[in-house]
Amino acid sequence: MKLRLFVTRDIPDEGLKMLKKDKRIKVEVYEKDEAIPRKELLKRVKGADIILSILTEKMNAQVFDAAGPQLKMVANYAVGFDNIDLVEAAKRGITVTNAAHPSVSESVAEHTIALIFALIHRIAETDAFTRAGKYKAWGPKMFLGTDLTGKTVGIIGSGAIGSSVVKRLHDGFGVQVVYSDIKPNPALEKLTGAKFLSKEELLKTADIVSIHVPLLPSTRHLISTKELRLMKKTAYLVNTSRGPIVDEKALLKALSAGKIAGAGLDVYECEPAIDCDLTDTLELRKMKNTVLTPHTASATIETRQAMSRTAAENVIAFLDGKTPLNIVKTK
């Protein structure tokens, strides 16, 4: 009898083709190109031996109960795994994997740098201005931005993505790089000359602050009012990691009051909502000193296919009785 694998949303085809070729499993995919409603998810996972989930689905005791005791694995189609209750999974003997792949780091690093340039060269503002037919004549003081060359970029988190950002900035744009992490990264320092600082010193020093840490209890609201007050008024904040790492309310107030120059965001605290509090007048979408993208930092054909293959490879390795390359465990 074949094992049942339920995919909570259609993903790029290369991984699905690999799974469908495996005669040990029957693959079922949620048909609609939208986040699966919770009620529907609980119904569809019933009897599943393996769930291939994406980051919008909370994989917790409720889902595990709905699936049944035969559930053996949750293969997450994401690098992050904050949507999965790892403790509960471990209690039930459920193997959890993520879809980490080197190309993810490259794509997110590129997107991060794109946000930096969009902010400092005011690309979104000038695009809207031009499309609105407001460009009537060239002016020497029109939409003045700032150069990246000669600036100090601060990276919070020197893992694969943060390191990729540092390497690109060091090799291509003549910037000074400082970084903060739970411990120094000697290899990165040797390669790029990056300087290790405390988070507080980094915030005081950097002209651009870019966040590259996972969402953990210890990193929730890692950047809040206190941290934003340490930043220069001319500094920019970029977040391509997870939304709740930045206290959105504090950020809105800082942007509105001119405490920092701007922010480039690919993730949001109450995602997919762009604002957590709709009762006030502070809206990210109305702020001209922001560049906003819809959690698409890894959204390239190459990377999303690589993630698809990685998720499938994790499942196949598990079925082969091997330890999946991307296994996730509680710390």
CATH number of the domain to which 51 belongs: 3.40.50.720
Q: Which residues are catalytic?
A: 242, 271, 295
Q: What angle do CA 74, 101, 59 make, to 5 degrees?
A: 20
- Pair 84, 61: CB distance under 8 Å: no
Same domain, 242 and 316: no
Average the pLDDT over 260-264 and give the result. 98
Give the pLDDT of residue 331: 65
Are 90 and 164 within one domain? no
CA-based nearest residue to 291, from 128, 123, 165, 152? 123
For residue range 172-230, what is the model confidence (pLDDT) as tens digits? Answer: 888 999 999 999 999 999 989 999 999 999 999 999 999 999 999 999 999 999 999 99
Same domain, 240 and 272: yes
pLDDT at 166: 92
Structural domain range at position 189 = 103-292
Residue 93 CA: distances (Å) to CA of 64, 86, 223: 11, 10, 35
Around Cβ 114, how many Cβ atoms within 10 Å? 18
- Domains in the chain: how many in total? 2
Mean pLDDT of 82-106: 95
Residues 259 and 323 in one domain: no
- Least confident among 100-109, 167-176, 305-314: 167-176
87 with 182, same domain?
no
The pTM of this model reads 0.91
Please give the average per-residue pLDDT across 290-311, as a whole number.
Answer: 96
pLDDT tens per residue, range 227-250: 999 999 999 999 999 999 999 999
* Statement to judge: residues 170 and 69 lie in one domain: no
Token pair of 88 as six digits = 């509960």
pLDDT band at 78 (very low <50, low <70, confident <90, very high): very high
**Candidate from 31-35, 70-74, 86-90, 180-184 with smallest mean pLDDT:** 31-35
Q: Give the CA distances from residue 192 to residues 48, 124, 202, in Å, rounded to whole numbers and listed in that order.
A: 47, 30, 17
Instruction: Give the list of residues 6+ apart from residue 163 with CB closer than 8 angstroms, or none.
Output: 105, 185, 188
Distant-in-sequence, close-in-space partners of 77: CB < 8 Å, separation ≥ 6: 11, 52, 53, 54, 55, 99, 307, 308, 311
Q: How far apart are the first and last CA of the chain?
A: 35
